[in-house]
Chain A
Amino acid sequence: MTTTTDALNPAHPIDHGHGADHGHGGHDAHDHHHAPAGWRRWVYATNHKDIGTMYLWFAFSMFLLGGTFALGIRAELFSPGMQFWQPEFFNQLTTLHGVIMVFGAIMPAFTGLMNWMIPLMIGAPDMAFARMNNWSFWLLPPAAMLLIISLFVPGGGPGAGWTFYPPLSVQLGAGMDFGIFAIHLMGLSSIMGSINIVTTILNMRAPGMTLLKMPMFAWTSLVTAYLLIAVAPVLAGAVTMLLTDRHFGTHFFNAAGGGDPILFQHVFWFFGHPEVYIMALPAFGVVSQILPTFSRKPLFGYVSMVYAVCAIAILSFMVWGHHMFAVGFPATAQLFYMFMTMLIAVPTGVKVFNWISTMWQGSMTFETPMLFAIGFLCLFTIGGMSGLVLSLAPVDIQLHGTYYVVAHFHYVLVAGALFSLFGATYYWLPKWTGNMYSERMGKLHFWWSMIAFNITFFPMHFLGLAGMPRRIPDYALQFTTFNEVASVGAFLFGFAQILFLYNVIHTIRGGVGPSPQRPWDGATTLEWDVACPAPHHTWTEPPSLALVREGLIAQGLEESTHVEELK
């Protein structure tokens, strides 16, 4: 992140003048000692750290935008009746909040983390395709612009919900087309990013680091990238069919032309359910890095963790029907999707118990990343449990389209994905900036977020059980009190994120002082073996076998005798 380009890791001197190809494809003649300065550094960026940084800042700005839309929703819902918006603008707010948070905030944030950390953690000099990496990032700002512009075209933005169900999405105005093109661009970006991540992980690992010895974050990234490669094209196909139905006279989803709107739901959720794990698996990876570090113990049941991730990924292709229990499936189909969905609780349970066992009898300390990881563990489990409730077809038909669903997916996406991202930021911020963040402010951010989050979303369970439908701008009077509580919580949660922004900027500007190369006691993965802040180019020469093994022994993945033999 800084221009201390060649501050080398003193423990592992690297002959950096020549030799190793550092991911520029070997065709670049430019001298990699001097990264281009000014705007060129970012627009022409091919360095995985620069691109990762841009991803993270982009995701954060989208997070604030999507959060502003969420506050617009909560402001309207503070009391019954219409306060601020017209119903159609309220629909646009919910739609854009969903689309921006999913495709603009959570996914790019994880891609940014992967860009930054995967090469560092597996000992690669850069991502496999550095120029494609640049392209995958720079497709995102135009996509975001399309979504924002859509609000100002006649008829306003897409208002069909983030799921874009026809027939509404076929009938809406031009804003919907902007939404469709934005999804195309973001899908393209995800596909290219995923190809890069899979290739990097499969082909560019350090010597001695076999697949089953990679850090868990690399594993979850690999599986996530595979999921994206499988389902991002399906989403592209679904919205393309919408587009041709809207403008080119096809009838994929038009009943009058022999099509079927339910078909869209099948295609969408074939993408949509794996998408849930695309947002959850990297969070699992982050937590699997943080918990062992601050428990000062190796991750419990590493191999079972890997198999659990793979099992979740495979099962995610067989459960999409549980989003559609209310469309009138035959009982056989309902039972199939119900049992497959309940089955996912098994590998997820394996993970949760492994995390708890990792902490068991560890020498735990509670720095901010650890707090967010434990917060994740508690709240994600609650979200998982409400998911299990929803997996039951007879219960789901009752709860379908209520605030119970809203509560459920915010527990897994905010307390799950987002909390893990906060944890990851505090965990790796010293490595990125070279400075230590303020522990006091970090803890304040955690507790503020934790309490405000629960004030916002816990009451929604009860609203849903009582029958309040989602995506409505007005509601029956008996729901008032809990909606007031949720709205107050939402504004508190929103302001907590300004504190997060302050913490990050404060750390970049020096924080509470420079960070040592390995700020955390129990951190044993390869990224802690490079200098702090991480130099512009790292691992131009792969880490030595001895160094890799040293880490693997600390992670409990290899017996120490191997190293002794080596020595």
Chain B
Amino acid sequence: MTSLALQRQQGNRRTARRLLLAVLAMLGFSFAMVPFYNVFCRVMGIQQDRTAVADAPVAGWQQQVLFDSNVAAGVPMQIRALDARREGHAGGLMKARFELRNLADTPLGVRAVPSYAPLSAVRYVEKVQCFCFDAIHLAPREVREVTVVLVFKSDLPATLGPITLSYTVFGLDGGKQQTTATAQSIAKAAT
């Protein structure tokens, strides 16, 4: 190897090392954006820190929420609201539990679909976490406790009256049919 080539190779390696450092720095930056984002939002008052919601002193009036639950026809399971009636506050958090019970000797896939009454409550109540977000797979005869966590907006009006949040549990059969249909359509696309 000539000295020119050797020099060039050393130069190349030096450049590559610097670029690799830049890559690692940017990877670190992507994760550093997480704490930075939280701080930025807090300082700007753009969005309240969600973990702080639970601890904040609650000044609003009491808001009553009733939890209702149903099972669609033909789904072999029971759902029971463990906290059928709860009280929350404007700007505060509320957690409610439900019990799901698979009555069949076979595994069961279900999905819960929520609905509000009165409908105008949707604007003021935000589901932060909900068992209705995901499909639920129950083992034969399994009993499982699931939760929903709600946040009440701070501008929740006192005149709303009690809110009813109702869940209806549907089987995933419809979903299964759709999955099969998807597989068929892929096969169709392939041919």
Which A residues fall within an 8 A CB radius of B? 19-21, 25-26, 68, 72, 84-86, 88-89, 128-129, 151-152, 154-156, 167, 171, 191, 194-195, 198-199, 202-204, 229-238, 241, 252, 254-256, 258, 260, 262-263, 266-267, 270, 329-330
Contacts and interface: CB of A to CB of B under 8 A. Distances in A.
A369 B36 CA distance: 47
A258 B129 CA distance: 11
B149 interface: yes
A263 B34 CA distance: 7
14 contacts: A21-B9, A25-B9, A26-B5, A89-B186, A128-B16, A156-B179, A195-B19, A195-B23, A199-B19, A203-B15, A233-B24, A237-B29, A263-B37, A270-B30
A151 B2 contact: no
Most B-side CB within 10 Å, residue of A129, A156, A203:
A203
Contact of A234 (B2, B15, B29, B49): B29
Contact of A20 (B5, B26, B189): B5
List the 8 shortest-distance A-B pairs measured between CB atoms, nearest first: A237-B30, A256-B129, A21-B5, A233-B27, A233-B26, A234-B30, A258-B51, A128-B12
A172 to B, nearest CB: 10
Given A229-B23, A267-B33, A330 B46 contact: yes
A33 to B, nearest CB: 18
B1 interface: yes
Interface string B1-24: 110011011011001100110111
B182 interface: yes
B185 to A, nearest CB: 5
Contact of A203 (B12, B27, B34, B47): B12
B178 A129 contact: no
Contacts of B186: 89, 151-152, 156
Interface string B41-57: 10010110111000000
B173 to A, nearest CB: 15
A293 to B, nearest CB: 30
A195 to B, nearest CB: 5
A68 B188 CA distance: 13
A25 to B, nearest CB: 7
Contact of B30 (A155, A262, A267): A267
Interface string B147-162: 0010000000000000
Nearest to A250: B34
Given A270-B33, A330-B44, A156 B182 contact: yes
Nearest to B30: A237
B133 interface: yes
B113 interface: no
A229 B33 contact: no
A72 B1 CA distance: 55
B117 interface: no
A174 B184 CA distance: 19
Contacts of A155: 179
A86 B51 CA distance: 39
Contacts of A151: 186
A21 B37 CA distance: 49
B9 A255 contact: no
B128 interface: yes
Query: Which secondary structure dominates where chain A touches chain B?
Result: helix
Given A199-B16, A258-B50, A260-B47, 10 more contacts: A89-B185, A129-B16, A151-B186, A229-B22, A233-B30, A234-B26, A258-B51, A260-B37, A270-B30, A330-B46
A154 B50 contact: no
B105 interface: no
A128 B17 CA distance: 13
B104 interface: no
A540 to B, nearest CB: 10
Contacts of B189: 68, 72
Given A25-B9, A151-B186, A238-B30, A229 B15 contact: no
B181 interface: yes
A239 to B, nearest CB: 10
A273 to B, nearest CB: 14
Contacts of B22: 229-230
B31 A237 contact: yes
A235 B50 CA distance: 25
A198 B15 contact: yes
A199 B16 CA distance: 6
A208 B18 CA distance: 25
A229 B11 contact: no
A366 B41 CA distance: 55
A267 B35 CA distance: 12
B16 A195 contact: yes
A21 B179 contact: no
B34 A252 contact: yes
B182 A88 contact: yes
A19 B2 CA distance: 6
Contacts of A85: 182, 185
Contacts of B5: 20-21, 26
Contact of A195 (B20, B24, B46, B178): B20
Contacts of A191: 23
A262 B30 CA distance: 14
Given A236-B27, A263-B33, A263-B37, A203 B181 contact: no
A73 B133 CA distance: 27
A171 B12 contact: no
Nearest to A253: B34
Contacts of B31: 237, 241
